[in-house]
Structure 1
Amino acid sequence: MTINHMSSTVIQNKIDPVTLQVIGGALKTIAKEMAHVMYRMAYSSLIRESEDLGAGVFDIFGNTLAEADSTPMQLGCLPGYIRGFQEKLGDNQHPDDIIWNNDPYAGASHSPDVALCQPIFYKGELVGYAGATAHHLDMGGAQPGLMVDVPDVYAEGLILNGVKLYDKGVRNETLIEVIRQNVRTPNEVIGDLEAQVAACRLGVKRFIELMDKYGKNTVLSACEELMNYSERMMRKEIAKIPDGVYEAESWLDNDGRHLDIPLKVHVKLTKQGEELEVDVSKSSDQVSTAFNVAYSGALCVSVHSVLRSIFLDTFMTEEDVPANEGAFRPIKITARKGSIFNPIKPAALFSRANQVNTVADLIIKALAPIIPNQTCAGSSANIQFASYAGLDENNEYWVYIEVNEGSYGGRPGKDGMDAVDFSSWNTMNNPIEDLDMHVPLVCEQYELREDTGGAGKWRGGLGIVRWNRFLTDGFMTMEGDKHTVRPWGYNGGLPGTSANLIKNPDRTAEELPSKLNGYRFQAGESVQILVPSSGGYGDPLERPAEQVFEDILDEIVSVETAYRDYGVVISDMELDIRATEIRREEMRSTRGDLPVYTQ
């Protein structure tokens, strides 16, 4: 299966560069305004605090014209959502409709990511869409919040495509009542849906105002030219790397049920001229749990996101390149039908984050030898996605979901970034104050995972430690991985530290697997999440000793690690330069040639 990108056909007006930039800036502002509406109106902390949402404006074919500065996984899937409900509805679309799609077999990222889109009509003609998507706390289904081990997609809860939440401006109260009766947190879900509706309404209003000011053909011509420009820039950057085939592979812990069977992830990149194909067909077959991946809504989004960051990074390019559909036209994405990245319905595909993060990390690994200045060492490639749930004093569900931050590998000239989501995720942290105020959990620890980043000339980033305690009986589902694989070091850098999940670390500690599915905790019990830290880049012995000493003072690196991995000698908490020189010379004389990758 491959993805195709369509281009709109409009009467092309010749647009001067200033007007083009003004319209491009206006489109970007529309998307950002839409996202701000959702931040301010959302009920759940996952949207309000973590910003697990996406918003943007799109042409009549679903091509992205502009997107907000939120999580790429929520943004990049919106074209698929639109194309999915277009196939269902055809011409049955009207002004003030709000159309629902959360079907992962019709473009959705996964079932709790609900997209609401409003067609934009200008003087009776369909000219585009305003769309907003967000991760909802609960859609019903087998487990509260998140789920890993379910038999099929129907067990994931309420899934709809092409159903109108608003029909010609009138709210579908029957659908609202269906939601209210079938989800565990109806107030939060319905409130968050209305925040999405408000974002769509604003996006339509602003897009129409833009056409009123500049004219329909001018705006649409500008949209097409902006996409063409992004395409030209992507092709230009792809053309710079040598033609050839580049491959990398890694392993996932398991599928959440068969805990002793690892799953292969294989990435093959074929570069020819100005185009690039990413093929993951040699990866594992689809599995019998929800540890599968929606092709369009998750795999393609992750591939597009990481390739754009490699080739069109804002720090590396002198010119601003709009984030729109054009940048993805030179990219072909292939996934074997029946594989973990392109499952056959009705396979469940709720838990997809770690698979696509691994694909993104392997793309970086495959390209690192030919574009080392645009890549980094192995990153956490991981998302420790946790949901907590239980019943309150009224016997009603509370559900809390948090995204636990990973890190990036060391990169040329800079250390890896600490405590940030990798690649397709850009969510913010859930403040512990928000947790303490709203749900019966207490956060005992939330800090950087010290002394775990891979050593290197530029060290790997640190993940985090989060330790939460239940105040009532409850459930936890964990969508995690990287318990068995360490983030790779590059060009002599050392690997990072793998993940871990520990029950009751302050009592009789029990190591848990990377994936939990409705695991029961009693009041007073706790769980500690240790997120992977990333790999180092370059020879650790080339890191200035003074910088290693600063890391020790900042409690990023221990004295023991400084001596063992960096050859830095600390005496009485003072840097011993002479002893360090001797220690490093001894290490160089005995270690042999440095490997390209360490894992």
Structure 2
Amino acid sequence: MAGLSEIRMQVMWNRLISVVEEQALTLLRTAFSTSVREAGDLSAGVFNPQGLMLAQAVTGTPGHVNTMAEAVLHFLNEIPRDEMFEGDCYVTNDPWKGTGHLHDITMVAPSFKDGQLVAFFACTAHVVDVGGRGFGADGKSVYEEGIQIPIMKFAERGKVNMDLIRLLRANVREPNQVVGDFYSLSACNEVGHRRLIDMMAEVGMADLDDLGEFIFSRSRTATLERIAALPKGSWDNEMVVDGYDEPVKLATVLSVKDGEVNVDFTGTDAPSKWGINCPLIYSKAYACYAVKCVVAPDIPNNSASLEPFTVSSPVNILNAERPAPVSLRHVMGHMVPDLVLGALAKAKPGEIMAEGAAALWNIHISVRPEVGKEGRRSEVLMFNSGGTGARPGLDGLAATAFPSGVHTMPIEATEHTGPIVVWRKELRPDSGGAGRLRGGLGQVIEIAPAEGHEFDFSAMFDRVNHPARGRDGGDDGAAGVVELDDGTKLRPKGWQHVPGGKRLILKAPGGGGFGPAEERDDEARADDRLKGYVTDKT
């Protein structure tokens, strides 16, 4: 009977994952913003009544999922149980209690069955605009970066808070898109709730207590077994990245002991006066993700499997406190896995991938008609990726978003959102670092305002002055480039202008190589040239 009970529990666990996957797909199907609908910049999950994550959707980013795992507890701390009702939905974009910056909206909804609270559903998505200066690094405090929504009710007993809707419409540039995404997030949680109740009714479950204990006990045990197999000790690593107007040093010490892996960011540079700071909740999300990728990649992500991975830090750029500007927190946050993996490479030599482009090459474009001409205004957000680092047994991946995992929006969808033309989007030859295993290629993107228009754009790029480093003798990847088609060099961060008739050219960085280049197989070299990944110039 015990065996049958375990099999039944495993089936229910799989059913629960399918519930949250449908929850996430609802958000993908109904979202207004291309960052959600096309790129999958979201997360979804189900939590027990104590706010501990039981299961997450596969669809989504580590930064959203792992911060959401902590964020739900903040909601429970601020909304008393006796003020929670069927049909409620709660919301925030608080960077320190949500996912690190104002553009991410997190919604949490209680799930009741027969009047009893049985679960919470939560989801997060990046919206196109939150007012303020817009999505960029130029703010000097979080107060400049957009509207702040404290933890509050989006809906109570099924009735939407229309005062909040009116405030949103008065504070953002794209009110229909933003408000549409709020309703989409709410619908996402509602679908999760309905599917969960259907599942519980079908199998006669009154609550999720036994299933939760089954999930947590097995996840915790499996994770601790993996940690026990690691070498014990401490290893450090440092890396320098572009920053805003001066380089930024990131530092870590990774310590492995019985039952715990700790990542400490002591030695990292102080917070910046620009909006590239990162709240610890987001730095922690990507630090845990990096360790889990190496230690326990096949163990499902939930509160128990995350529990043994801890993060500590003094106040610095990876642990910035309110009211620091944090709009581009993803740039530093996406560097954290390379930082942590560099320390792990000392603990597990020869087994860890090289550094990659890491931070997404996002671009937010604010388009308008040229003076005296007719046209339309629009806010356009576009995701792009450089190459990943080479792996111990495989070349790096070209134009792939690691560690975030988001997709690039299709050109057709991007051009549909505003009057711009993407003239070129192609792999960048010779950008992957040479090595026994070659680094992944970056890409070249060429963007122009449509006829009669001009645009300002928010540059959110890194690895322009500090390219991805190779591992174990591999060469560095190519540095990124930001320029106009006339050769004018532009800054890697900050709002800048592209006049009508000009084109913006982005050359995303490549990943570092792994192992000495002279050890690369002749057949692999020939294949690189045949495919155009490497030219005769190199």
| Same fold at TM > 0.5 | yes
Contact kept in structure 2, 1:81 and 1:102, CA below 8 Å? no
**Distance in 2 separating the partners of 1:523 and 1:90:** 54
- What residue is the counterpart of 1:125 in the other structure? 116
Does residue 539 (structure 1) correspond to residue 516 (structure 2)? The answer is yes
> Matched residues in 2 for 1:78 and 1:15: separation?
33
Deviation, 1:407, is 2.2
Matches of 1:274 and 1:22, distance apart in 2: 28
Q: 1:322 aligns to what? A: 300
1:104/1:111 contact within 8 Å kept: yes
Q: Residue 529 of structure 1 corresponds to which residue in structure 2?
A: 506
Report the 3-state secondary structure (helix = DSSP H, G, I; strand = E; otherwise coil) of the residue aligned with 2:236.
strand
Which has the higher mean CA deviation after the structures are superposed, 371-380 or 43-52? 371-380
* Aligned-pair CA distance for 1:48: 1.0
Question: C-alpha separation between the residues in 1 aligned to 2:312 and 2:277?
Answer: 16
Instruction: Give the one of 225, 249, 259 matched to 1:274.
Output: 259
Counterpart mapping for 1:481-496 below 5 A: 481-496=462-477
How far, CA to CA, are the matches of 2:347 and 2:273 in structure 1?
A: 38
1:156 aligns with 2:141: no
Q: Which runs of 5+ in 2 are unaligned?
A: none
Q: Which residue does 2:106 correspond to in 1?
A: 115
AA partner of residue 485 (structure 1): H
The answer to whether the aligner puts 1:240 opposite 2:229 as a matched pair is: yes
Instruction: Give the match for residue 136 of structure 1.
Output: 127
Establish whether residue 410 from structure 1 lines up as the match of residue 390 from structure 2. Answer: yes
Q: CA deviation at 1:450?
A: 0.9
Equivalent residue runs for 1:490-569 within 5 Å: 490-502=471-483, 504-505=484-485, 507=486, 509-517=487-495, 519-561=496-538
3-state DSSP of counterpart to 1:469: strand
Amino acid at match of 1:81: A
1:83 aligned to 73, 95, 107, which one? 73
Aligned CA-pair RMSD: 1.9
Q: Which deviations, in whole Å up to 9, do the C-alpha atoms of 1:404-454 show, x marking residues without a partner?
A: 11222111221111111111x111111111123331111111011111111
CA contact (8 A) 2:64 2:99 kept: no
Question: Of 76, 86, 101, which residue of structure 1 is paired with 2:92?
Answer: 101
- Whether 2:476 is the aligned partner of 1:475: answer no
Confirm whether residue 441 of structure 1 aligns to residue 420 of structure 2: yes
1:452 counterpart (416, 431, 440): 431
Q: Following the alignment from structure 2 to structure 1, what is the Cα–Cα distance between the partners of residues 207 and 80?
A: 27
Decide which of 256, 259, 272 is 1:287's aligned counterpart.
Answer: 272
SS at match of 2:501: coil
CA pair 61-372 structure 1, distance change in 2 beyond 3 A: farther
2:329 is matched with 352
Partner of residue 199 from structure 1, selected from 188, 192, 206: 188
Q: State the 1:39 CA deviation.
A: 1.3
What's 1:224 paired with? 213
Residue of structure 1 in register with 2:381 after alignment: 401
Structure 1: distance between partners of 2:111 and 2:100: 23
> Are 2:348 and 1:371 equivalent residues in the alignment?
yes
CA contact under 8 A between 2:362 and 2:382: conserved in structure 1? Answer: yes
Mapping of residues 37-52 of structure 1, within 5 Å? 37-52=26-41
Where do residues 569-584 of structure 1 align in structure 2 (5 Å cutoff)?
Answer: none
- Give me the whole-angstrom Cα distance separating, in 1, the residues matched to 2:521 and 2:320: 49
Distance in structure 1 (CA, Å) of the matches to 2:396 and 2:132 = 38
> Structure 1 residues 51, 152: CA separation in 2 closer, same or farther (over 3 Å shift)?
same
Q: Deviations over 1:133-187 (max 9, x none)?
A: 10000011123xx120112111121111222111110011111111111110011
Note the C-alpha offset of 1:124. Answer: 2.2
Contact between 2:350 and 2:472, CA under 8 Å: does it hold in 1? no
TM-score by length of structure 1 reads 0.85
Alignment partners' CA distance in 2, 1:404 and 1:249: 26
Q: How far 1:217 sits from its partner (Å)?
A: 5.9
Paired letter, 2:419: P
Count the aligned residue pairs.
Answer: 530
Equivalent position to 1:386, from 363, 380, 386: 363
**Conserved? CA contact 2:387–2:432, under 8 Å:** no
Alignment gaps of 5+ in structure 1: 1-12, 315-320, 562-599
Cα–Cα, structure 1 residues 109 and 410, in superposed 2: closer, same or farther, change >3 Å? same
Specify the alignment match of 2:158 in structure 1: 169
Deviation, structure 1 residue 545: 0.7
- Cα distance change of structure 1 residues 190 and 15 upon mapping to structure 2, 3 Å threshold: farther
TM-score by length of 2: 0.94
Seen in structure 2, the aligned counterparts of structure 1 residues 394 and 111 have a Cα distance that, compared at 3 Å, is farther
| Residue among 260, 265, 279 paired with 2:250 | 265
SS in 2 for 1:368: helix
Paired with 1:94 and 1:374, the residues of 2 have a C-alpha distance of 50
Aligned position for 2:318? 341
Mapped partners of 1:230, 1:525: distance in 2:
54
- Determine helix, strand or coil for the equivalent of 2:285: helix
CA distance in 2, matches of 1:75, 1:553: 40
Q: 1:197 corresponds to which letter in structure 2?
A: S
SS in 2 for 1:104: coil
Deviation of the 1:394 alpha carbon: 8.3
